[in-house]
Structure formats: structure tokens, C-alpha cells
Structure 1
Amino acid sequence: MIGVDVNQHAVDIINKGEIHIVEPELDMVVHAAVTEGYLRATTIAEPADAFLVAVPTPFKGDNHEPDLGYIEAASKAIAPVLKPGNLVILESTSPVGATEQMAAWLSEARPELTFPQTHGNDADIRIAHCPERVLPGHVMRELVENDRVIGGMSPKCSEAAVTLYKTFVQGECVITNARTAEMAKLTENSFRDVNIAFANELSMICDKLDINVWELIKLANRHPRVNILQPGPGVGGHCIAVDPWFIVSQAPEQARLIRTAREVNDSKPQWVIEKVKLAVADFLQGNPEKTARDVTIACLGLAFKADIDDLRESPALAIAQKIAAEHPGSVITVEPNIKALPEKLKGSLYLVSQETAEAEADIKVLLVDHKEFKSNQYVCNPRQKVVDTRGVISKQPA
């Protein structure tokens, strides 16, 4: 097996038998695979029987248009080494039609080969879409156990993809066409986004009405057909915060609820920032000898979800950055899952230990419910104000 990445650092780390992300059990598997000669990494695509394309698919511009540039680059990278009988699978969560577009790019690069958009089952190259379906923090288990949706551009494309995935997938491989497979993943993430938006909107309503939203949700969820999710500071990650916009961009008149959910979730970080400003004002009112420059704010958690190190599309990170840009006093951050901030964040944010934050903070902003924060129980010093966006304190046993 060959792993291809444009990041030389990632390639070097993998070839050492190590990993550059936080994911339980992945380190052991990668170490064993590299040590035993089953896996190596490179920056240049090499001939293979099957190619799995798993690259970012962000959006661009104010209208959230899908950016397929990474898929195009990957297509051009593997095109020179394609040979008849190869299978190419797009795993990236993509807008409807992306798999067909990938096939078109490959065909343009290798006109001497035939592809399913023109030759169907008789094509030289098999192409399918099979969106990844794993939860960060549980990847090793879900990669094997979860069902997979497989959308080939022809029946033989689907058949070839199923044969590949069945070498390691214990879940069911369900066959459909490429466009439906693409829409299935977008639908899954949009469903989550809409439900999170309901919880986030509910939290803002409860704040206005002086109701503990965490208790309210716990009570409401005692109904056998109610399962409200937990609110937070927004929605992050490279899937749920991005994918619904693909649907909106392709069907703007019809996707009204999906758009509104995105807008609700995108607005939550600013709501949190306003709560922090109120906390600062409240602190200063109780400490009239101090000014805003004397107030230290600690932002607890920068990842987009609990117990991982992934900062992509993280509302917690965006909140911390904006607080640091606007607050005249000191702003420190705690993120137990990373050893150092990315270079682009250095100078604007300062990473400290949990103990330092506890000792120095006047305002604590709980942004991610990492296990380290929950286990601490956060019995706060009376002088400290706390903005708890994840219910870490509110859910603590009495």
C-alpha cells in the first residue's frame, strides 16, 4: 500500500512508522504496517491497481461555492500512471457531480484510455464514489464496522469497488449510482447540522428566558420520541460545517431549512463572543479598581470537537482568535491535544497549561468539552467568571 500526500512532513512521519494526528489505535496500526513493509508514503503517485482519492473539498467565496481544485490536482497526479483495469474511487465528501467531473479530468489527461461516462461497463478505467463515514476519535473501529454507500458510474464500477472494500469492511456495502452516493453523504451531514442548529437556537432562547438549557434538554429527551442534541459554540470540522453549503449552492431555492440551519450555526460563535464581553463587563463592575487591560481571558479548547487535535473549521478556534483580536488584556488558550500552535497562529494566540490558566484567568471560556476539562470539575474561584458553551459545569453532579 502506498500513501501519497503533498505534505512532505506527513510523508516523512508516516515512513518513520509514526502519525501526525491524534487518533486512538492508529499509531499502532501504522507502525506495524510500515515496519512489516505493507505501507510506505511518497509525494508522487505510483502505478497501482486501485486509487482512493481523499482530499479536501472546501467551499469558496461568499456564496459558498464548492472548490474542486484539490480533486482536480489529485486527478492530474494519478492520471499519468493509470492503466487499463484500474479502479479510481473518490472518497472526498463532494457536491453532486464531482465524481463525473473527476472522470472527465482523467479522460482529458489520458485520451487513449476509455472511461465509464462514454463506454459504461466496457471502459478501461472503473470509477466510483464511496464517501468516508468515520467519526474522528473512532476511525479504526468505524472504518471496519460501518456500512458503506458505493456509487459506481457503471455496474462494473460498483462491483469493482465492492470487491475492494470487502477486503476490510465488515459492514454492508450498499450499491447505488455516483450522484446518489454523493448526495447521501451530504444528506447525512446536513441532517446533523439541522439538528445541531435546533439545539444551538434553543440554547440562545433559554439564555434569554433564564432557563438552564442542559437541564431542559435532559428533561425533554425523556420523551421516547425526542432526542435533542447538545448545543455548543458553533459547528466545526471539515464535514458538517461545510457540506450543507454544497446542497444550498446547487439548489438554493429549495434548500431553505438547510441554509437557515447553517446560518444559525455560523452565528453562534458571535453570540458566544458577546457573552464573553458581558462577562468582562460584569467582572469589571465587581472589580472597579481594574480596567479591561487588567483582565485575563482563558479560552479552554481549540479543536472542533472533544478529545481530538483537529482545528479545521473550528468555532472554538475562531472564537479564541476574535477574542484575542478585540480584548485589550491578556488572552491565553488551553488545548490539551496539541503540543504547539500552528505557525500561522503564533503571535495571536498563546498556548498555556491548564494549571496556568486556572491560576491566571479572570474569565474562563469553556469552548470544548475535552475529558481533561470535565474531570477537573471546574469548581471556580469566586473571583472568576465562566462562559460555559458546552455545559461542562452545568452537567456536573451536585
Structure 2
Amino acid sequence: MRGETKPQVCVVGLGYIGLPTAAIIARADCPVMGIDISQHVVDTINRGEIHIEEVDLDGLVRGVVQRGLLRASTQVAPADVFVIAVPTPFEKDGHHTPDTSYVMAAATEVAGVLKKGDCIILESTSPVGTTEAMRDLIAGLRPDLKMPGKTEETPDVSIAYCPERVLPGKILEELTHNDRSIGGITPRCARKALAFYKRFVRGTCVTTDARSAEMTKLVENAYRDVNIAFANELSMIADHMGLDVWEVIKLANRHPRVNILQPGPGVGGHCIAVDPWFIINGAPEQSPLIRTGRQVNDAKMHHVVAQAEALIEAHPGVPVACLGLAFKANIDDFRESPARFVASRLAHRFGERIAIVEPFAGQLPVEFSDTGATLVDLDHALENCGILIVLVDHDIFKAVPIEERSGAIVYDTRGIWPDQPAIPQTSGLRLAS
């Protein structure tokens, strides 16, 4: 609308979700201040550059910074809308207990600059009840402001929860076009957040309560985790029975109501491998299936390590290439990555025999230090390594023709080379003819 005043926006957390979100909001002509605790991240963004790998993000950030619509700082500034997109890891208690301290720290900073009429939106994946807990924290810090759900009068601020649904490599597209669930502390809060998201989201925005929106995000990823667990468990059964799991799945999926996913070396990333535990933690007695799915997918990593170790031990002295460290194809995100777990275990056991191929890494992660493992390019691995262990289905790996794999022993955990003859009695292992 001509002459409309654009809201000032403050995005707290400039990671894999926060920075793309800030850039998308700025593209909608809303002035955005991005906040991060890292001075390096702040300086990088203020130069119009990015510190993460994501398709088309570099050009977008450069453009909105040059137009003066996006700035970064380590200090929270007054705004009309605050979007919190900080990590929610586990506590270090060994029980997968959600750690919401980053959310509460961000909320504390926001509380210090909050004014009447502001809207606070939590985007971080969180246990059910986190948005209300954040509200209660702010209420204690700002008794001068009436909080939603705490007063029968019109509240002074709005508080809502709106999780993202994005696929790395397509984050900008999906932030814009995917549907969003917007959960308000009250219906009024949900409507206030809805009006904000409609400025830059083309997908359908559905309003609900905060607790339902929190649970929805967790359910989405738990559903995917359980389905992947079925495929991974099937792959381990196939190994035990000497069957080709890829062939079995292909044939089973010809049934009109069957759609089995593809197995892999486990499940990674900061969503699918983490979010189900938030449900389990909140309802441990009512979630045996979700817990089992998590355990199956974690067990698959150890199964792959055991298979790979047996293969390497059976071929003494043969150089080994582990293909990939990322948690999924064509990205530079190694968080909770099963490929990284497997490669690290092999590096610690076999040392200099292990070469790592990861086109999205400039150096090996810290756990590879002092193992003797080296980071090499794909051509080097194909020319010098007699054992190839496929851990990630990067496009560059898929493009390797069978001629370049000739003579190599292949353990393909992703099924990217179906033309490679299988080693007898071992479904996951493939040997070029």
C-alpha cells in the first residue's frame, strides 16, 4: 500500500535460518537489524557477505545491505517486530533434554528494549510450552507492560510462535512459498503475527495457538524420522539376509499405497535428528514408537561403521575414501551428520589410510585432528583409493561413471550407483566388475 509505514524488524540469531529470514524480510522493504553474538558474523554481513553456504543467499544479502535495508549488530535494538531464531540444542546431561537457554537469553535482551505495540515471534524449534515460558520471563522483567494471556485487558505486546519448514539448498524459495503455522499466545497475537508474515510469505499462513504450533513442528520431523527408521531398519535386515535393499524397496514401492523412503547411514541435521527427542522428553511414557525410531536411526550409524570396518580389515593396506561429511546432499551443513560420525570413527581407527572427500569443506572438522586422515578432492580419491565408502549423495558423486569406479570396492550407503554389481551376500557393498 502506497505510503504504508514498514515495521522495523529485529532478527535475533543469524545462522542457517535467521540470516535467510532477515534477508527475505529486508527484500520486502522492511528495515532489518540482525543480531548475533559473533562479531565475525556481524562484520561479514555488514560487508554484504555471508558466512554460510546457501543457494542465492549471497546475492540477496549483498543487495539488501547495499540498499541499507539490512544491518547487523551484536546488540539488540528497539524495533516493532522481534524474530528470535537462535539454537535449541540438548542439555549436556546425556538424556537429550532440550536446552532453551539461548531462547531465554534472547528474550531477556529483547525485553530490555520492548515497548507497547511490539510483536515478538519465536521461530526456534522448541519444546511445547516454550513460547509461554518466554512470555512469563518477559512479564517478570517488564512488569510495566501487560502480557497476553496474563491480563483481561488489551495486552501491550503480542507474542507468537511460527516455525520454519525449509530444506537446505532451497531455503530462500521455501521461506517464501511454504505454508506457515502461526501460533499466538492469544488469537489477537496470532493475527498480529499473521499480518507480519503476509508481507513476505506467499504460502498459506494458518493461525492456531502457540502450543499447537510448537507441537506441529516437532510432529513433522518426528514423522519423517520414523519413516526413515523403517527404511534404515529394512536395510539392516537386508544385510542380515543377504538381500539387495534397493531392489526390495523398488519392487515394494510398485504397490499403489506403499512409498518406502531410501535408507542411508543414519539421520542428521539439526531438525530430524533432534526434534523427536523434544516430544519424547515431554511425554516419555506415551512415545515408544518415536523413541524406537530415533534409536533405530542412531543404530544405523553404528551398523555402517561395523560394515565399513569389516570391509577395510578384509583388504589390508588398501587406501580408503569416505565420500561426504554433510548431513544431506549438496550443502555445507555438518550438524548431527551420520556421515561425519562414520568417517570420524574410521579415521580414528585406520588413520592415514582414510581420505575424506567433501566438496563443501575447506578443512576437516576438529575431531579429525591427529588422526592422519586427509581431505582430498574426488579425482584424487578415484585415482588412488581402492575402497570407496559413499556416505552422502552429493551430485558430484552421483556423476561418477562406472568406468572411473572400475576395480574399486564400493560400500554405497546411499544407493547412488545402482549400476555397480553387489558384493555377494552383502547388500550395501558393491564391487565394480
TM-score bin, normalised by smaller chain: over 0.9
Of 330, 333, 346, 1:323 maps to 346
1:226 maps to: 258
> Does the alignment pair 1:392 with 2:416?
yes
Q: Distance in 2 between matches of 1:393 and 1:207?
A: 17
Answer yes or no: is the 8 Å Cα contact 2:78–2:113 preserved in 1. yes
- One-letter amino acid of the structure 2 residue matched with residue 12 of structure 1: D
What does the per-residue CA deviation read over 1:20-57, in whole Å, with 9 as the maximum and x for residues that have no partner?
21211111111110111111111111011001101111
1:65 maps to: 97
Q: Distance in 2 between matches of 1:34 and 1:343?
A: 33
Which deviates further from its counterpart, 20-29 or 176-185?
20-29
Q: Residues 222, 257 of structure 1: CA spacing in aligned structure 2 closer, same or farther, 3 A cutoff?
A: same
* 1:124, distance to aligned residue in structure 2 (A): 1.2
Q: Residues 343, 211 of structure 1: CA spacing in aligned structure 2 closer, same or farther, 3 A cutoff?
A: closer
* 1:109, distance to aligned residue in structure 2 (A): 2.0
Answer yes or no: is the 8 Å Cα contact 2:123–2:161 preserved in 1. yes
Q: Distance in 1 between matches of 2:368 and 2:75?
A: 30
SS at match of 2:285: coil
Q: Residues 37, 306 of structure 1: CA spacing in aligned structure 2 closer, same or farther, 3 A cutoff?
A: same
1:14 maps to: 45
Q: Distance in 1 between matches of 2:233 and 2:339?
A: 17
Q: Distance in 2 between matches of 1:395 and 1:302?
A: 24
Q: Distance in 1 between matches of 2:42 and 2:298?
A: 34
2:275 maps to: 243
Answer yes or no: is the 8 Å Cα contact 1:15–1:41 preserved in 2. yes
Matches for 1:7-86 after TM superposition, within 5 Å: 7-60=38-91, 61-86=93-118
Q: Distance in 1 between matches of 2:365 and 2:189?
A: 41
The normalised TM-score by structure 2 is 0.86
1:179 maps to: 211
- One-letter amino acid of the structure 2 residue matched with residue 375 of structure 1: A
Answer yes or no: is the 8 Å Cα contact 1:129–1:178 preserved in 2. yes
Q: Distance in 2 between matches of 1:124 and 1:396?
A: 65
* 1:360, distance to aligned residue in structure 2 (A): 2.5
Of 322, 326, 333, 2:356 maps to 333
The normalised TM-score by structure 1 is 0.93
What does the per-residue CA deviation read over 1:317-350, in whole Å, with 9 as the maximum and x for residues that have no partner?
1111111112254222111122233456544453
Matches for 1:1-398 after TM superposition, within 5 Å: 1-60=32-91, 61-119=93-151, 122-284=154-316, 294-342=317-365, 345-348=368-371, 349-379=373-403, 381=405, 383-394=407-418
* 1:268, distance to aligned residue in structure 2 (A): 0.8
Q: Residues 205, 342 of structure 1: CA spacing in aligned structure 2 closer, same or farther, 3 A cutoff?
A: closer
Answer yes or no: is the 8 Å Cα contact 1:248–1:255 preserved in 2. yes
Answer yes or no: is the 8 Å Cα contact 2:149–2:185 preserved in 1. yes
Q: Distance in 1 between matches of 2:61 and 2:351?
A: 45
Answer yes or no: is the 8 Å Cα contact 1:214–1:395 preserved in 2. no
Q: Distance in 2 between matches of 1:244 and 1:112?
A: 38
Count of matched residue positions in the alignment of Structure 1 and Structure 2: 389
* Long gaps (5+) in structure 1: 285-293
Answer yes or no: is the 8 Å Cα contact 1:299–1:331 preserved in 2. yes
Answer yes or no: is the 8 Å Cα contact 2:402–2:419 preserved in 1. no
- One-letter amino acid of the structure 2 residue matched with residue 367 of structure 1: L
- One-letter amino acid of the structure 1 residue matched with residue 90 of structure 2: F
Q: Distance in 1 between matches of 2:134 and 2:193?
A: 16
Q: Residues 76, 201 of structure 1: CA spacing in aligned structure 2 closer, same or farther, 3 A cutoff?
A: same
Instruction: Tell me how large the CA RMSD over aligned residues is.
Output: 1.8
SS at match of 1:351: strand
Answer yes or no: is the 8 Å Cα contact 1:117–1:153 preserved in 2. yes
Q: Distance in 2 between matches of 1:299 and 1:162?
A: 46
* Long gaps (5+) in structure 2: 1-31, 422-431
Answer yes or no: is the 8 Å Cα contact 2:347–2:368 preserved in 1. no
Q: Residues 33, 223 of structure 1: CA spacing in aligned structure 2 closer, same or farther, 3 A cutoff?
A: same
Q: Residues 78, 235 of structure 1: CA spacing in aligned structure 2 closer, same or farther, 3 A cutoff?
A: same
Answer yes or no: is the 8 Å Cα contact 1:120–1:153 preserved in 2. no
Which deviates further from its counterpart, 55-64 or 183-192?
55-64
Answer yes or no: is the 8 Å Cα contact 1:121–1:157 preserved in 2. no
Q: Residues 150, 243 of structure 1: CA spacing in aligned structure 2 closer, same or farther, 3 A cutoff?
A: same
Answer yes or no: is the 8 Å Cα contact 2:148–2:157 preserved in 1. yes
